[in-house]
Structure 1
Amino acid sequence: MNNLSDDAAKSRRGRRPAAEVRAEVLAATSALLAGEGLRAVTFDRVAARSGVSKTTIYKWWPSPGSLAAESYFSRSEPDLVFHDSGDLFTDIRAQLRSFVRLLTEQGGGRVIAELIGAAQGDPDLSVAVSQRYTMPRRQLAIDYFRHALNRGQLRAGIDPSLLVDQLWGACYNRLLIPDAPLDVDFADDLVTNTLLGAASADYRGGLEAAL
């Protein structure tokens, strides 16, 4: 009886924390995404690469697409931190530059394009993209623009949600419809043109003087 109790205790002590196991699964998925793209992400291949059972993986993610989405979004989050220095132009230009570089220089563009495309026919992936990436990032930008509005840097009545569409939406458009280049120069011009139109009169005067 004591031996059984001892064995059970040892088993419990040897069980790895869920966060550690999840991190290994996400790392394996990220490697597959970076190397071969979305189609390489299957539960079989992730299980083989991570050493985590398919049963465990399926318990946490309803589909390979939702797993791929979380993996990508977790990896890209540090590159898309939304800093608030108190200056509208400086912060938005820095954020949009980071976003464009993630898409064009760090391999994120191919992955996010595949995820958006696959989400059209995969309800689980569609929910994952919205809940884990697009809506949280959209809310961060909206919250920032509301702070800028309160600081008097945006004109009264401006719709923060519309500014998100104008800035990040234009980048997604060039990513998915590559008729024109998506690069940092485009990001800079986009920020300048958008904010000159959206800025309050006082802030615009200082911005025009600085450009």
Structure 2
Amino acid sequence: MATDDGTRATKGRAPHRRDENARLAVLHATDDLLVERSFNGLTIEGIAARAGVAKQTIYRWWPSKVDILLDTLIEDAGRQLPVPETASALENTRRYLRALARFLTKDPAGMVLLALIGEAQHDPAMAKTFHERYLDPQRQTEREMLQRGIDSGEFSPALDTEAARDALTGPIIYRALTGAKIPRTFIDTLITNTLEKHLA
């Protein structure tokens, strides 16, 4: 069984048959409580009380509060951070970065992402899970967004998609972590400095 400080239970993840209403209630409660109480103030007891489910039910479904936060992040990011595919590669990237900035600064799920980034700095086991379940798949999606620009002939084949991805998203995440504003002009400058010189 997991403890309230977020340490992991020895028991593995339960089968996926869950009451959907209860599952969503837990995810929404976790979002709300993280905003109200921060990561350290978030407890399984608090989530259970806010969601209206038994604490034992949560422990059956999630080994720790980190696992709940990851499920919350993955579900919300899937809806709110899709990679656009309706315009040029340059414009799709611009739209994605603007959505990322909004997600990190205005959405409770963005606070989940920032909290998990912070927690990963001093919890190696949690960092590994975070990378496997969210960061690595998201990084791959962002690289593919840029690669499509190369494949279509819009970007030069000399564009290093990994380096470009880091140069575009890294400053946005850093500003969000430090509470700095992320105006559209900042994103436009990132686009100019990183991608426009690679236009074919």
- TM-score interval for Structure 1 and Structure 2 normalised by the shorter chain: 0.7 to 0.9
Tell me what 1:190 maps to. Answer: 190
* CA positional deviation for 1:27: 1.4
- Name the CA distance, whole Å, in 2 between partners of 1:76 and 1:151: 26
* CA positional deviation for 1:64: 1.2
On the 8 A contact 1:28/1:49 being kept in 2, the answer is yes
Unaligned stretches of 5+ in structure 2? 1-16
Tell me what 2:101 maps to. Answer: 100
Structure number having the greater helix percentage = 1
1:43–1:118 distance in 2 versus 1, CA, 3 Å: same
* CA positional deviation for 1:100: 0.8
- Name the CA distance, whole Å, in 1 between partners of 2:183 and 2:129: 27
Moved more, 149-158 or 119-128: 119-128
Is 1:129 equivalent to 2:121 in the alignment? no
Tell me what 2:113 maps to. Answer: 112
On the 8 A contact 2:120/2:127 being kept in 1, the answer is yes
Amino acid at match of 1:68: L
Show CA shifts across 1:137-174 (max 9, x none): 21111112222111011112322111111100121222
1:17–1:68 distance in 2 versus 1, CA, 3 Å: closer
Tell me what 1:67 maps to. Answer: 68
SS in 2 for 1:37: helix
Amino acid at match of 1:26: L
SS in 1 for 2:53: coil
On the 8 A contact 1:62/1:124 being kept in 2, the answer is no
SS in 2 for 1:133: helix
On the 8 A contact 2:93/2:146 being kept in 1, the answer is no
* CA positional deviation for 1:109: 5.3
Moved more, 122-131 or 48-57: 122-131
- Name the CA distance, whole Å, in 1 between partners of 2:158 and 2:45: 52
- Name the CA distance, whole Å, in 2 between partners of 1:90 and 1:169: 19
On the 8 A contact 1:38/1:68 being kept in 2, the answer is no
On the 8 A contact 2:74/2:134 being kept in 1, the answer is yes
Number of aligned positions between the proteins: 184
- Percent identity for Structure 1 against Structure 2: 32
On the 8 A contact 1:33/1:68 being kept in 2, the answer is no
Unaligned stretches of 5+ in structure 1? 1-15, 201-211
What TM-score comes out, normalization by structure 1 length? 0.76
- Name the CA distance, whole Å, in 1 between partners of 2:76 and 2:146: 25
Amino acid at match of 1:148: G
- Name the CA distance, whole Å, in 1 between partners of 2:50 and 2:137: 30
What TM-score comes out, normalization by structure 2 length? 0.79
Tell me what 2:91 maps to. Answer: 90
